[in-house]
Chain A
């Protein structure tokens, strides 16, 4: 189905390729561990978390930086350390390598000139005598907050299981793709960090809540358009605020940071999205592309033909340009395009 192909190309455009980010993360972690060791502090394990480990990372729009979340998991008992102290270990270890460190609410942010930042989230991990792991998140105010990063990861992993047959060639399933579409949709509306913009995790959990099973055509092909419609429709049917509880401690509403005004705006945007998605069902591919570019921005393909004909293959493109340049002298006094506006 060609609308699905349009979504496929869109997904390819917005998906973050994780290999490069992983490499950057590993270099930083090695440096931090070396500095901590030198200072005589306990050494943390790496805890993969965040959007790219859930497979829902999207490329930022405009000048916004790439964001890498890294959990640093210290083998310590939270009751024996002040959260501020442990955060300071990390802060000082990073400061050995760069001047651009910010102590933010839930994390320590390291900015790189190359257009990305790494958010370091600090945990204390203690295994009790029954072998149960207790994670506490170090907050800026010095307090520890119960957290279950591994359980959250497991929850997401379980939610993805029914979608195993909907994977595309890059290995992303429908749940991940729909989450990416909606994250980009939010980024188009508000590119920067903002209290008015839902967290990426909130969008993922919203999709998990409303997309319980894959949406496929009769022949079994995934139908991402209808999957998006299902999520948008469920939001439209929600009375009052969108509420999605985190499935792990402290079971908070992941949309609670949005003000009432921002929530109202988000719901209106979902209404508009639903209208456009539903109208796309009855349109031809090019009309669909036009409608959906309005919602999802310029990375949504203008048409399949364009993507197929003038491919992004730089070599082929350079050859075509060179061949066209050679043809230019054969035009004698060509007309120039104009516009009567």
Chain B
């Protein structure tokens, strides 16, 4: 990416918005090193009535921010840098949400405030709770492709992989016709069954992501896997 295309150089308005939104977070500050804007400081986790703990964090803003999501790092050494703690093995960044979930939780174009108040807050709340209690308060996605399929299964309300694949295919179509049967039950019309959920997904998630999920589902089916876990919304 050329220097002129770096987000904060290209769009001073976006940079101003970023600075304005970040000001509300007293314990965080940003710095610019070369082209990279990063946020540093401590992140407080609160319970219902009190401060539970703080984590030392670094947040790197991608060159095409706010199209791509920020990358979060826990730098205080509190969280083991292992996949089971939801830390990416490649770069030790925090896996704050599943790949497609990002479009639901922090759609491209969103600001830093929504990121901090949403995925960031939820991730560190989860980590602190896990540290104290040994469990994830909101559940967790499985790693890799399985977690991606769990996300779609949860949003579409079916853990049956064959049905899931067909529903995802519908999400790629421009229109759902009322006479079509629903993949989950040929006796029921799709418009009376899964259509709303499919439309919600296709409105949120880019086609290439859905296409990836279809291929993942096919791969699992080829290997004889029949179903994936569903995590209900909380």
User: Complex: how many Å from CA A309 to CA B119?
Assistant: 23
Q: Which residue of B lies closest to A306 (CB)?
A: B78
Q: How far is the CB of A298 from chain B (nearest CB, A)?
A: 10
Contact with A along B122-142 (1 / 0, CB 8 A): 110111110111001111110
**Any B CB within 8 A of the CB of A20:** no
Q: Write the nearest CB–CB distance from A312 to chain B, whole angstroms.
A: 11
Q: How many pairs, one residue from A and one from B, have CB atoms within 8 Å of each other in the complex?
A: 140
Which of A302, A309, A339 contacts B86, CB < 8 Å? Answer: A339
Q: Beyond A309-B53, A334-B122, is A323–B47 a contact (Cβ under 8 Å)?
A: yes
Asked if B76 is an interface residue, CB under 8 A from chain A, the answer is yes
CA A327 – CA B88 in complex, angstroms?
A: 27
For B94, what are the chain A residues with a Cβ–Cβ distance below 8 Å?
Answer: 337
Which residues of the other chain, A, contact B141 by a CB distance below 8 angstroms? Answer: 336-339
Residue in chain B with minimal CB distance to A332: B234
CB–CB B233/A333 < 8 A = yes
Any B CB within 8 A of the CB of A328: yes
Contact: B132 with A324, CB < 8 Å? yes
Q: Does A326 count as interface, using CB distance less than 8 angstroms? A: yes
Q: Please tell me which one of the listed residues A289, A317, A330, A334 contacts residue B77 in the complex, with CB atoms under 8 A apart.
A: A289
A89 vs chain B, min Cβ distance (A): 50
B99:A340 contact, CB within 8 angstroms: yes
CA distance A336 to B98 in the complex (A): 7
What's the Cα separation between A266 and B209 when bound, in Å? Answer: 52
Q: Are B137 and A305 neighbours in the complex by a CB distance under 8 Å?
A: no
Give the size category of A's interface with B. Answer: 20 to 34
B108 adjacent to chain A (CB < 8 Å): no
> Residues of A contacting B119 with CB < 8 Å?
335
Q: Please, how many angstroms separate the alpha-carbon atoms of A326 and B46 in the complex?
A: 11
In the complex, residue of chain A having the shortest beta-carbon distance to the beta carbon of B105: A335
A134 at the binding interface (Cβ < 8 Å): no
Return the contact of B137 from the options A328, A333, A341 (Cβ within 8 A): A328
Given contacts A324-B132, A331-B122, 15 further A-B contacts (CB under 8 A): A302-B78, A303-B77, A306-B131, A310-B53, A320-B53, A321-B129, A333-B233, A336-B97, A336-B139, A337-B95, A338-B140, A338-B141, A339-B95, A339-B143, A340-B99
> B residues engaging A (CB < 8 A)?
46-50, 52-54, 56, 75-78, 80, 83-84, 86-90, 94-99, 101, 105, 118-119, 122-123, 125-129, 131-133, 136-141, 143-144, 147, 231, 233-234
Residues of A whose CB lies within 8 Å of any CB of B are 285-287, 289-290, 302-303, 305-306, 309-310, 317, 320-328, 330-331, 333-341
